[in-house]
Chain A
Amino acid sequence: MKRHVILGGTRGMGRSVARKLVERGDWVALLGRDGAELEKSAADLKARGAPGVRVTTALCDLERPDTFRPALEAVEQALEGLDVVIVTAGLFATQEQLEADPSLAQRVLSVDFANTVLFCEEARKKLLLRGGGTLCVFSSVAGDRGRKPVVLYGAAKAGLSAYLEGLDHRFKSQGLTTVCVKPGFVKTQMTEGLKAPPFAGEPDEVADVVVKGIDEGTPVVYAPPIWRAVMSAIKAMPRFVMRRVKF
């Protein structure tokens, strides 16, 4: 049995990951900003969970860094420990929306990069104090290369991926395992309204890949895995091609 904290576990891919964990008997704490949603998701996890599973919640808002430490401390106490911290939460907006609305751009850039990093710093300190653990954070394939439809969002995710790689290099020897998840296009509420590309994934299949990555301590996980090949191809494209293509 391991004790997991999930920031963003009430929705989308985080919801699927949380279910996989409780079904096999792991304990889960959900962090999020909507108390009612946290309660509903906790009830769902309890009903699905293996016998004896403990599920707890705490309020935590990626837009408010002052909530990070108290939330982590509360759930560490409730679960009597902490082995894995998972961050699936984030903000998404299309390139057009972000270009048209600087205040939205500021929110997305802060939440997806600066605040996520600050949350990870709190989590890292906690895990290191306990002698180690796993930090699993959802970045994105959008951070693998600057591209037309994800200039701003992708830049935040690129920064996040770089931070996670640095953490791995710096703290691996002290027992901190870092897992950077790079989901490709996954059909969730976050991507609602966008045209699904080929290889679009389902949250449940992503969750299988993510849980395996956490168990094995894989530094970079593409989910669904086909996106590793897709992004390799995109990274190999010369700049004059990238200027022409739409993706």
Chain B
Amino acid sequence: MANDRLAGWGRQFQPGRELLTEDLERAPRVLFRGLGRSYGDSALPPAGSPVVVTTTRANRIIDFDESTGVLRAEAGLSLKEINRTFLPRGWFLPVTPGTQFVTLGGAVAADVHGKNHHVDGCFGHHVTRLKMHVADGRVLECGPDQERELFLATVAGMGLTGQILEVEFPLRRVPTPWIWQETERVPDIDTYVQKLAEAAHGWPMTMGWIDCLSRGKNLGRGIVMKGRWAQAHEAPTQFPAEPPNLRFPIEAPELLLSSLSVKAFNVAFYWKHLARKREGLVSPWTFFYPLDFVKDWNLMYGRRGFTQYQCVLPREAGPEAARRFLEVLTSRGGASFLCVIKDCGPESPAFLSFPKPGISIALDIAVRDGTQQLVDALNEHVIKEGGRIYLAKDSYTRPEHFRAMEPRLEKFLDVRLRWDPNLTFRSAQSVRLFGDPA
């Protein structure tokens, strides 16, 4: 059989096969998978029926309204295709995650968020209609004002409520295809959190990177980044060049990821930003999708792969919550090339949508013998703080921990069960976290 192993972006392989089809409506009744950029086991099949349907060939635009920007397309269309087609015409996604290698169906299923979350919410917030194939065989439409419960369970529902066939949402007019960016080097985590909060008032897009290896007074030093679409008088008239197509060549030996190399990377990244403050025009590819410059960068993590840990610490936990989290992390020797911090805006009504007001922290963790224990410890801390984790990144959280973080879970499972009483649509993740039959 073709492709008898499947993995998420974290390259933790397990038995599985993908069916490639252009006709989603006639696809087998199993979990849909997009471009496979969720890090963990969200887009992997249950062990007992190891097949998923990959939607990437179902990528037609159904309709685009040039006057309103409303786009309707098949679920396998990628954000990259949308940007390539519509940014030259002055339109951009209302919300984009940090990679454009995501399908529309995946963006809805994970309810992705981006640098503008504090202003614009998640992707699902902008969706006006979904066309779905549900477990009883019906093909139907849902949206904020139609089959609302199904809609709220499907947005951020990780593909478990039915198959998403088409997605409708408005693109947004942008004044130019360029970004005006301001970046600032900050000495420690408390300043960082404060700067990020200040930036949220004046800037539609914010995020930043911190060095999560430095300890003591340098703990959490990093770079805060702020951006907005450039106005016509500030920007060049030409279209920003697409990034070159680089590829990470091989599965790296684990030696490459020694704590020394991670440390060196973090120090270099921090001091590369010599001036305390910088500002200027950057291309949207650099601003939104820096990691897309190197295809297959996940090979850097070698044979055992990696996991991403992303949690949100609620505003009620106070501005010191980020420092407490980093202390737990560094005390356990957690090393990460990238530690991305962003403050989140209001929670979505979608039952399992990840962000809520507070600070989101994301870090890449190379899989080693102690990874389960590290994730357990971080989860226990996050539960104490009243936070939660992001399913699109996860492959190590224990079901009891997830339940403790997610009071909305019962509601989600209720609605899901109503639409799919036999649990037709299951994933390796739903087996692990929700106790679905394998």
Contacts and interface: CB of A to CB of B under 8 A. Distances in A.
Contacts of A187: 20
Interface in B50-66: 57, 60-64
A47 B21 contact: no
Chain A at the B interface: SS class: helix
A31 to B, nearest CB: 17
A169 to B, nearest CB: 37
B85 interface: yes
A188 B20 contact: yes
A23 B61 CA distance: 14
Interface string B86-130: 000000000000000000000000000000000000000000000
A189 B21 contact: yes
Given A11-B22, A12-B22, A48-B85, A189 B57 contact: yes
Given A12-B22, A189-B22, A189-B57, A47 B2 contact: no
A203 to B, nearest CB: 8
A47 B22 contact: no
Interface string A164-191: 0000000000000000000000011100
A47 B61 contact: yes
A44 B60 contact: yes
A194 B85 contact: no
B19 interface: yes
B57 A41 contact: no
A47 B63 contact: yes
A52 interface: no
B331 interface: no
A189 B18 CA distance: 12
B3 interface: yes
A187 B21 CA distance: 10
A23 B3 CA distance: 33
Nearest to B63: A43
B61 A189 contact: no
A196 B3 contact: yes
Contacts of A188: 20, 57
B2 A48 contact: no
A203 B21 CA distance: 13
A15 B58 CA distance: 11
Nearest to B4: A195
Contacts of B22: 11-12, 15, 189
A40 B60 contact: yes
Contacts of B61: 43-44, 47-48
B1 interface: yes
A32 to B, nearest CB: 13
A41 B2 contact: no
Contacts of B21: 189, 192
B2 A195 contact: yes
A192 B63 contact: no
Given A11-B22, A15-B60, A47-B85, 20 more contacts: A23-B85, A40-B60, A44-B60, A44-B61, A44-B62, A47-B63, A48-B61, A187-B20, A189-B20, A189-B21, A189-B22, A192-B19, A192-B20, A193-B1, A193-B2, A194-B2, A195-B1, A195-B2, A196-B2, A196-B3
Interface of B: 1-3, 19-23, 57, 60-64, 85
5 closest cross-chain pairs (CB), A and B: A44-B60, A47-B61, A47-B64, A195-B2, A44-B61
